[in-house]
Amino acid sequence: MAMDLETKLYQSAARTFEEVCFLLTLREPGPELPAASEREIGVRIGFDGVFHGALEITCPASIAEHLANSMLGGDKPTAQQRQDAFGEISNVITGNLLPSIAGDKLVFDVTAPATLEGQQPLPWGPSARVRLRSDEGPIDLVLYIEDYDLGARS
């Protein structure tokens, strides 16, 4: 059942990266925790509805730069623009992921993307974890859902 959740996470993320910024990704099997050197930029988005949790996405700065370039074009993006672009992509992934898990009738409140730096670790273990490989480097997605009965909804 957890594999199903990971497939949904992968599909939501891969589709978003491809459609928004033409970044083609492949799913890596059995992802390990990302190395610190690969986690240069990270965001967390919380959600609250029929279940409660968060999605964390991390990647190297080069990917965030690619995303910002694709979204904005023009000059070299600033650090803030890179973070904003990555946050917005994460927001789109979350928005596509939640209805794929819970159906499209339920309403979720989603928090604004927040930088992972300096945040407390979440009190729950990961419900799904996916690593995407792209030409620009790895992208790691970790989904946390509190007290979620995965079996009942798959």
Partner 1 sequence: MKLNVMVVDDSAVMRAMVKKSLSLCGIELGEVVEAANGVEALEKLASSWVDLALIDVNMPKMNGEELLNHIREDEATVPLNVIVISTEGSETRISRLKSKGARFLRKPFSPENLGNQIREMLGETHGDGSGNQALPVSGPDF
Contact 115, 128 (CB under 8 A): no
25 binds partner 1 (CB under 8 A): no
Please tell me what DSSP assigns to residue 61.
H
* 30, 32, 37, 73: which one binds partner 1 (CB under 8 A): 73
* 24, 72, 115, 119: which one binds partner 1 (CB under 8 A): 72
85: Cβ contacts below 8 Å, ≥ 6 apart: 64, 67, 68, 71, 72, 77
Half-sphere exposure of 105 (CA within 13 A, CB side): 0
Considering only 28-36, 80-88, 124-132, 134-142, which stretch makes contact with partner 1 by CB under 8 A? 80-88
> Tokens 């009942």 belong to which residue?
152
Site string for partner 1, 92-111 (x = CB under 8 A): x-xxx-xxx---xxxxxxxx
* 54, 68, 128, 142: which one binds partner 1 (CB under 8 A): 68
Nearer to partner 1, 33 or 103 (CB): 103
The total number of residues shown for the chain amounts to 154
23 closest CA partner among 59, 76, 54 = 59
Point out which residues bind partner 1 (CB under 8 A).
16, 19-20, 68, 71-73, 81, 84-85, 87-88, 91-92, 94-96, 98-100, 104-112
